[in-house]
Amino acid sequence: MGGRKRTWIAGLAVLAVAAVAGSIPAFSQPSSSQVACGSATQSTLTNDYQSTTLSIYYTEMAGPEVRADLARVENAVDLASALSDHDLAATLAATKRLVLQDPGWHIVRLRVLSISGRVLADVGGPYVLAPVRGHITYHGAVVGKFVMSVQDDVGYEKLVTRFTALPIELYRDGTPLMGRDFPASEAPPQVPPNGTTITVRGVKSVTDSYYVLAFPNGHTDVLLAIPRATAALEADSCAEVTAQTYGNIAVDIAKQFPLPELAVSYIALDHGFDPAELLFVRKGATQIASSGAQRGPVTIPPGGSVTYKGQRWLVYSFVPARAVRVYILFPGGASTSGPSGPSGSGST
């Protein structure tokens, strides 16, 4: 397709459930040898970032919020009763209630259909992603169907930029939708081939794109601006490149949590992006939280590598708050450095 890698999301339901359970690994890491990643560095960066942004999408297909909202629709007695009575006005009222009534819910669009597939009510935003389908029953009989989403285009874009700091643009029918991260003068009019060099807010990046499902059908193109591989990064092993990438993502995720107070929640979210890593949040010599409540190594260096449970791990660390350091251990064996050198971001 014109040199462009097109990633169609197949088996969405299975992958979504796996993402929520934390069982989708990051892209496979090469061996921990000292061989430089070299020409594979850019593809390693791209794969790791794409894996992260897709995991955000998968969660919007079958995360806890989706399951809760599905139950609300399926158990809506007013909607089921209205469908059973073939009452269009009551069906629309019940649909609006589900989408608009409770600000704590996050159903961004709900389309209700008859058993034959005729649209009876459709409430919500125009550009919506991650459709989820279900049936509505009344006294044990199926009386209608629905298509629901908890993720719109703006929400997905915000999550991607919040957790990865990547500029992102969405395209529907070949036209840019947002223009929030890509200034109007810099947004490509069409999705370019993957690997194209572009400039976003003065920073040269490399493009990557894939499909996600649009509501109620069709697809939306996602365009990411991936950081360009530097000569220094190309000299690292591919395992180190992956550790650096997920370490940088962990730094961005940490900005969403007051640490160390919500360290357990932070660790749980970060594991959704790379379950293979181990996280330890420590304040001086005191451990605040860790992956699976593991004790971890007695001493973890701020960078380089460490042996734990008979395995060699790459170490990435950073300081999100005064006297608090987050240590992230990645499967591997060579040394790596954080955003400010061997000790990561900041110092204890």
Question: C-alpha distances in angstroms, 224 versus 47, 170, 324?
Answer: 11, 9, 32
pLDDT at 61: 76
- Please give the pLDDT value at position 83: 97
Predicted confidence at residue 20, as pLDDT, reads 30
Q: Decide if 334 contacts 314 (C-beta within 8 A).
A: yes
The CA-CA-CA angle for residues 148, 6, 224, to 5°, reads 75
Q: What is the pLDDT along the chain (348 residues), one digit of tens a residue?
A: 333 233 322 232 233 323 333 322 232 333 344 789 999 999 999 999 999 999 888 877 777 788 889 999 999 999 999 999 999 999 999 999 999 877 667 889 999 999 999 999 999 988 889 899 999 999 999 999 999 998 888 889 889 999 999 999 999 888 888 666 777 778 888 899 999 999 888 889 999 999 899 899 889 999 999 999 999 999 999 999 999 999 999 999 999 999 999 999 999 999 988 888 999 999 999 999 999 999 999 999 999 999 999 999 999 999 999 999 999 999 875 444 444 333 343 333
Residue 69 φ then ψ, to 5°: -70, -35
**Residue 13 and residue 91: Cα distance in Å, rounded?**
28
Query: φ and ψ at 139, to 5 degrees?
Result: 55, 45
Q: For the whole model, what pTM was predicted?
A: 0.78
Question: Looking at 81-186, which runs of residues are DSSP E strands?
Answer: 109-113, 119-124, 128-129, 132-138, 141-149, 151-152, 168-172, 175-176
- For strands 132-138 and 128-129, give the pairing: unpaired
Q: Mind listing the pLDDT tens digit for each residue in 316-329?
A: 999 999 999 999 99
Which DSSP state fits 182? S
Predicted confidence at residue 180, as pLDDT, reads 65
Rg (CA), the chain: 23
Is residue 260 reached through a cis peptide bond, with omega within 30 degrees of 0 on the bond before it?
yes
- Inter-CA distances, 254 with 260, 267, 316, 321, Å: 10, 9, 14, 10
Q: Report pLDDT for 332.
A: 77
Using DSSP's 3-state secondary structure scheme, residue 214 falls into strand
pLDDT at 333: 55
Residues found in the chain: 348
pLDDT of residue 19: 33
- Where along the chain do its domains lie? 1-26+43-229, 236-331
Q: Whole-angstrom distance between the N-terminal and C-terminal Cα of the chain?
A: 50
Structure tokens at 231: 């000569």
According to DSSP, residue 178 is labeled -
pLDDT for 3: 33
Residue 91 backbone dihedrals phi, psi, to 5 degrees: -65, -45
Continuous H helices in the chain: 12-21, 41-62, 64-74, 77-84, 88-96, 153-164, 231-234, 238-254, 263-271
- Cα gap 187→191, rounded to integer Å: 9
